[in-house]
Amino acid sequence: MQDYPSSARNPDAKPHRSLLERLTALISPEPENRAELLEILHEAHERNLIDADALSMIEGVFQVSDLSARDIMVPRSQMDTVDISKPIEEWMPMVLETAHSRFPAIDGERDRVAGILLAKDLLRYYAEESFDLRGALRPAVFIPESKRLNVLLRDFRANRNHMAIVVDEYGGVAGLITIEDVLEQIVGDIEDEYDYDEEEDNVLQLKEGPNGPRWRVKALTEIEQFNECLGTHLADGDVDTIGGLVAGHLGRMPRKGEVFELDGLRFEVLRADARQLHVLLVEKLQPAREDEALA
C-alpha cells in the first residue's frame, strides 16, 4: 500500500520544514517586537533590498500609531480663523492672503467654534444677495489632544472630514489638525503652491509640560534662530541647522523616539526617517536644586 505524506492524510497538518529551513530560523529568528522589525528593515535598506522612500513610508506608518494629535497639531496661537461675528469684509483679505481651503469659524472668541467654513462657499457671497454665512458653515469635529493619529486617520476617511479642532482637558481649543498633517507623517511633506517655508513656523512654543516650557522645532531651523527663540547658546561652528547639530552629536542619523540631552536641553525626536531628521521636541532641563545636589 502506498504511503501518503502526513499532510495529504491530514489537510490541517503543518508541512515539515527542511533541515535548512529550521537552521535558518535558528540563525535568523523572526522579529519579536517593533524595534527588531525596524532593525531588519534598516538592514534591508543597507543591502539595497528596499529604497529609502519605501523605508521612510514604513517608518511613517509606525510613527502614526505612536503619535497623538497634540504632537503635530497647529497650535491655537497659529490658527487662521474667521470671526463670523464681524462683517465678512473685515476678514476676507486674510482668507485671500492665506489661501486655505478651510477655516475654523469662531463666534467672537477662539473657544467658541461655530463650524468650518469652506473657502469655495464664499463664492456664493458674491453671487447671492441674501448670503447666509452661518447657514453655509459645515459642522466642526472636536477631538481630544490624546487622540492617536492612526485612529484619527481612520475617522477622517470614514466620515470624509478634512479638519478637526483639538480641545484640551478643559474643553478649550488647543489647536487644529488636518488630514494632510496626518498623511505627511507617512509620505513626507506635501507642499502645494500656497505653502511657504516661513521662519516663524520653524520654532513653535507648545503648552508647558510637567518639566517646563516646550518647543516643537523643525530640524532645518538655523542654529542662530534656535538660540534666539530659546535664549540658548548652541555653537554653530561646523553645521548650520539644529538637525545637523543633533546628527553630529549622535554620530548618525537619529531615529524617531530617541531622547538625549545636550547643553542643558532635552531633545526628543518626534519625526525622522531613513533620509532625514524632520521635527524635534525640545525642553529646557531644570537646574538641580542645591539641596538635591548635596544629597
* pLDDT (tens digit per residue) in 66-98: 888 988 888 888 889 999 999 999 999 999 888
221 belongs to a structural domain: yes
Contacts (Cβ under 8 Å, ≥6 apart) of 107? 83, 84, 85, 113, 114
Range of the domain at 280: 200-287
272 belongs to a structural domain: yes
**Nearest in space to 215 (alpha carbons), one of 228, 200, 230:** 230
The answer to whether the predicted template modeling score (pTM) of the entire model surpasses 0.85 is no
Judged by average pLDDT, the poorest of 72-76, 144-148, 196-200, 265-269 is: 196-200
What is the spatial distance between Cα 271 and Cα 55, in angstroms, rounded to a whole number? 14
Q: Kindly report the average pLDDT of the chain as a whole number.
A: 80
Q: Is residue 186 over pLDDT 90?
A: no
CA 168 to chain centre: 18
206 belongs to a structural domain: yes
Rounded mean pLDDT, 227-244: 85
The pLDDT, as a whole number, for residue 114 is 94
106 belongs to a structural domain: no
The pLDDT, as a whole number, for residue 78 is 83
Give percent of the chain with pLDDT exceeding 70: 80
61 belongs to a structural domain: no
The pLDDT, as a whole number, for residue 139 is 94
Judged by average pLDDT, the poorest of 3-7, 32-36, 161-165, 285-289 is: 3-7
Q: Are 69 and 149 in contact (CB under 8 A)?
A: yes
CA 37 to chain centre: 22
The pLDDT, as a whole number, for residue 105 is 95
42 belongs to a structural domain: no
Give 199's pLDDT tier (boundaries 50, 70, 90). Answer: low
Task: Supply 185's cell numbers.
Answer: 507623517
Give 128's pLDDT tier (boundaries 50, 70, 90). Answer: confident
* Residue given cell 533590498 in the structure block: 49
Q: Is residue 292 over pLDDT 60?
A: no
Highest mean pLDDT among 17-26, 38-47, 56-65, 103-112 belongs to 103-112
Given its phi and psi angles, is residue 167 left (phi above 0), alpha (psi -120 to 50 degrees) or beta? beta
Task: Supply 207's cell numbers.
Answer: 503648552
Instruction: Give the CATH number, domain containing residue 238.
Output: 3.30.465.10
- Which comes out higher in pLDDT, residue 159 or 46? 159
247 belongs to a structural domain: yes
Q: Are 98 and 92 in contact (CB under 8 A)?
A: no
> How many distinct structural domains can be found in the chain?
1
Task: Supply 274's cell numbers.
Answer: 531613513
Rounded mean pLDDT, 240-247: 88
Rounded mean pLDDT, 184-198: 59
243 belongs to a structural domain: yes
Give 287's pLDDT tier (boundaries 50, 70, 90). Answer: low
